[in-house]
């Protein structure tokens, strides 16, 4: 077992043994935010034919070569092509076809001129200037060409991709099964959120905060409830979670106190511990283990610390388990707006919001960064990184930050 590892090493130890979930087929309309399990090849062009981007006249550019305001070119209008209708005639020299937005380009025509640029009397159209071949024609396959990859395996599906797949006539797609992640809360001081609050007790907010965070990245939370501070009971509950879920997350009991019994529980169930504790604040008290090929991630009982560890260790792992190509936390450079007054003998992770001010990425640090504080996470989307050994950080200093809102 490794102890007091860096965040990067901790993440690497976890990801080495990550296995992607299974595959299922689902209806396209149900696919938002799911992860595509196979490449999708386009079996046809989108759009399927050359078409007009607006109302106008389709004609031959060669007929317009000599056109000018003084000597305009007049063409015979041979037919009208509304949207949804196939042209019936070929545009020959000296001819044009009236055409509507989205209509197929008639054979023989190689440009479209807007209504506003010409004069017409129903049977003839007069053009006062030359126009190039290919002008104002949306080519077949402009969006997607037949035979190309329309969507890549591992892509999180967004509304635009749903529309694109619909344009290809795809009603059902293969996606990775959403991982089930069991959440176990440990501690004699924890009570249900619906219970009265006796002296010395706190409500089980961690399970709900983590459950929401799991749903935000496409996982399914499975609440195992609360277990008392007793190693055998904790071990039994973890084994229950391993039976019912793809991963188990625990909170509490992972520090160095007499009642921090999670390590004892993992030893009793013969789990393989990967590491215990990381060099970061908050969230240093974290442990990862494996049992039956499944990950067990044990987080601090302090809500703020638990959320930091979740965002930087659990979320990337779960995104990778979900089959995503982009599973790592995105990193950006920001200017820390207010600075940070405390020294940071250990790497410090600071909660904040991304702002754009005068074209620059700025991080606004939220108030009260305590380990037990959840309120300062509300509305945040960044974890700023203050390097180990730093003194107070002046306002405007540029630092690295992890994006914590899920990048789908």
Mean pLDDT estimate for the chain: 95
**What is the CATH topology of the domain spanning 331-403?**
Beta-clip (2.40.340)
Residue 10 has pLDDT above 70, yes or no: yes
Span 334-344, mean pLDDT? 94
Question: What residue has token string 């008290």?
Answer: 285
**Cβ-based neighbour number of residue 26 at 10 Å:** 13
Residue 266 has pLDDT above 80, yes or no: yes
CA distance 263 to 252: 11
For the chain, what are the domain ranges? 2-21+178-321, 29-46+145-176, 56-127, 331-403
Span 64-80, mean pLDDT? 97
> Of all residues in the chain, what percent carry a pLDDT higher than 90?
94
- The tokens for 340 are 């940070």
Residue 255: band (very low, low, confident or very high) from pLDDT cuts 50, 70, 90:
confident
Identify which of 327, 349, 353 has the alpha carbon closest to the alpha carbon of residue 340: 349
Span 337-353, mean pLDDT? 94
Identify which of 19, 10, 6 has the alpha carbon closest to the alpha carbon of residue 289: 10
* pLDDT score for 408: 40
247: three-class secondary structure by DSSP: strand
Residue 339 has pLDDT above 50, yes or no: yes
The CATH code of domain 29-46+145-176 reads 3.90.105.10
* pLDDT score for 407: 43
Residue 315 has pLDDT above 60, yes or no: yes
Span 380-401, mean pLDDT? 96
* pLDDT score for 254: 87
* pLDDT score for 257: 62
Residue 256 has pLDDT above 70, yes or no: no
The helices-and-strands tally (H runs, E runs) of the chain is 7, 24
Span 77-81, mean pLDDT? 97
Q: Which CATH architecture has domain 56-127?
A: Beta Complex (2.170)
Residue 398 has pLDDT above 80, yes or no: yes
CB 214 within 8 A of CB 221: yes
- The tokens for 291 are 């049992």
Query: 131-140, 250-259, 271-280: which range is least confident on average?
Result: 250-259
- The tokens for 296 are 């067990």
* pLDDT score for 373: 92
pLDDT tens for 211-248 read 999 999 999 999 999 999 999 999 999 999 999 999 99
* pLDDT score for 17: 86
Instruction: Report whether CATH 1.10.20.10 matches the domain 2-21+178-321.
Output: no
Identify which of 179, 176, 293 has the alpha carbon closest to the alpha carbon of residue 246: 179
Span 319-335, mean pLDDT? 95
* pLDDT score for 405: 76
């Amino acid at each position: 077992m490794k102890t007091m590892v860096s965040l990067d090493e901790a993440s690497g130890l976890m990801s080495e043994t990550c296995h992607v979930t299974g595959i299922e087929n689902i209806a396209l309309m149900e696919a938002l935010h799911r992860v595509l399990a196979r490449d999708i090849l386009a079996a046809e062009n989108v759009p399927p034919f050359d078409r007009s981007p607006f109302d106008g006249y389709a004609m031959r550019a060669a007929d317009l070569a000599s056109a000018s305001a003084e000597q305009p070119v007049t063409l015979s209008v041979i037919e009208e092509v509304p949207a949804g209708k196939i042209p019936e005639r070929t545009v020959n020299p000296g001819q044009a076809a009236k055409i509507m937005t989205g209509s197929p380009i008639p054979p023989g025509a190689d440009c479209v001129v807007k209504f506003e640029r010409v004069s017409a009397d129903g049977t003839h159209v007069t053009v006062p200037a030359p126009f190039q071949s290919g002008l104002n024609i949306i080519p077949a396959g402009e969006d997607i060409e037949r035979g190309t990859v329309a969507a890549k395996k591992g892509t999180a599906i967004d509304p635009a991709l749903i529309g694109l797949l619909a344009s290809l006539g795809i009603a059902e797609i293969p996606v990775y099964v959403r991982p089930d992640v069991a959440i176990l809360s440990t501690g004699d001081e924890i009570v249900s959120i619906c219970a009265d609050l006796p002296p010395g007790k706190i409500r089980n907010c961690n399970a709900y905060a983590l459950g929401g965070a799991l749903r935000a990245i496409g996982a399914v939370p499975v609440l195992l409830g609360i277990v008392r501070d007793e190693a055998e009971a904790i071990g039994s509950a973890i084994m229950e979670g391993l039976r019912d879920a793809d991963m188990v997350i625990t909170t509490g009991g992972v520090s160095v106190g007499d009642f921090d019994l999670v390590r004892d529980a993992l030893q009793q169930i013969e789990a393989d511990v990967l590491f215990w504790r990381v060099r970061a604040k908050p969230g240093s008290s974290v442990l990862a283990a494996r049992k039956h090929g499944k990950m067990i991630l044990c987080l601090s009982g302090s809500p703020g610390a638990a959320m930091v560890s979740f965002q930087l260790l659990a979320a990337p792992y779960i995104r990778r388990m979900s089959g995503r190509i982009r599973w790592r936390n995105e990193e950006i450079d920001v200017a820390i707006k207010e600075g940070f007054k405390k020294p940071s003998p250990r790497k410090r992770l600071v909660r904040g919001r991304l702002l754009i001010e005068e074209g620059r990425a700025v991080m606004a640090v939220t108030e009260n960064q305590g380990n037990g504080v959840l309120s300062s996470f509300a509305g945040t989307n960044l974890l700023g990184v203050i390097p180990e050994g730093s003194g107070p950080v002046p306002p405007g200093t540029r630092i690295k930050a992890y994006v914590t809102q899920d990048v789908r």
